[in-house]
């Protein structure tokens, strides 16, 4: 699964979702993790209630299961959840991406908590796909 981290230094989870200029994306499974890419965002990203700034991030994170943030507004969190992406707040701005990834790998090897099991489930593409699947049962 893909996991994203809002970061300004590519080491720590230290950016607010809405104002993050960089989001690092990793692929993770029970065997380990691998860096995939850094998503870059430009423009007016100040924490001012401008919800249009999150649209490109929502689109870019659509195939991620989880995004770790230092903070996130309620509207942006709801939009992520609607897209099937679970937002998770970091414990602090000092939390290291690599330490968290190592902990997640260990968790995936064992018995993941319910929220993580839910995040691991395949995403439904849209409401029409859901109706079509129900109709064929």
Q: What is the pLDDT of residues 48-62, one digit of tens each?
A: 555 567 889 999 999
Q: What is the pLDDT of residues 38-89, one digit of tens each?
A: 999 986 555 555 556 788 999 999 999 999 999 999 999 999 999 999 999 9
- 32-40 vs 66-69, strand pairing mode: unpaired
Q: What is the pLDDT of residue 122?
A: 72
Q: What is the pLDDT of residue 117?
A: 79
Question: Does residue 111 or residue 80 have the better pLDDT?
Answer: 80
**Residue bearing tokens 């679970």:** 86
Give the model's confidence band at 92: pLDDT under 50 very low, under 70 low, under 90 confident, else very high.
confident
Compute the average pLDDT of residues 115-133. Answer: 64
Q: What is the pLDDT of residue 52?
A: 67
Q: Does the structure show a pLDDT above 80 at 121?
A: no
Q: What is the pLDDT of residue 123?
A: 66
Q: What is the pLDDT of residue 110?
A: 85
Compute the average pLDDT of residues 109-118. Answer: 83
**DSSP of the chain, one letter per residue?**
-EEEEE-SSSSB---BTTT-SEEEEEEEETTEEEEEEEEE--S---SSS-GGGGHHHHHHTTT-SEEEESB--HHHHHHHHHTT-EEEE-S-TT-BHHHHHHHHHHHHHS---HHHHHHHSPPP--HHHHHHHHHT-
Measured torsion, CA atoms of residues 109, 111, 114, 116, in degrees rounded to the nearest 10: -10
């Amino acid at each position: 699964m893909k996991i994203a981290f809002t970061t300004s230094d590519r080491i720590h989870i230290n950016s607010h979702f809405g104002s993050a200029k960089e989001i690092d994306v990793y692929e993770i499974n029970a065997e380990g993790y691998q860096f995939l890419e850094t998503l870059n965002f430009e423009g007016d990203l100040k924490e001012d209630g401008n919800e249009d700034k999150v649209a490109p991030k929502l689109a870019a994170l659509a195939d991620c299961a989880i995004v770790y943030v230092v903070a996130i507004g309620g509207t942006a969190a709801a939009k992520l959840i609607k897209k099937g992406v679970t937002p998770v707040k970091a414990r602090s701005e000092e939390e290291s991406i690599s330490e968290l990834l190592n902990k997640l790998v260990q968790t995936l090897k064992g018995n993941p908590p319910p929220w993580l099991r839910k995040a691991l489930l395949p995403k439904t593409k849209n409401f029409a796909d859901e109706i079509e699947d129900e109709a064929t049962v």
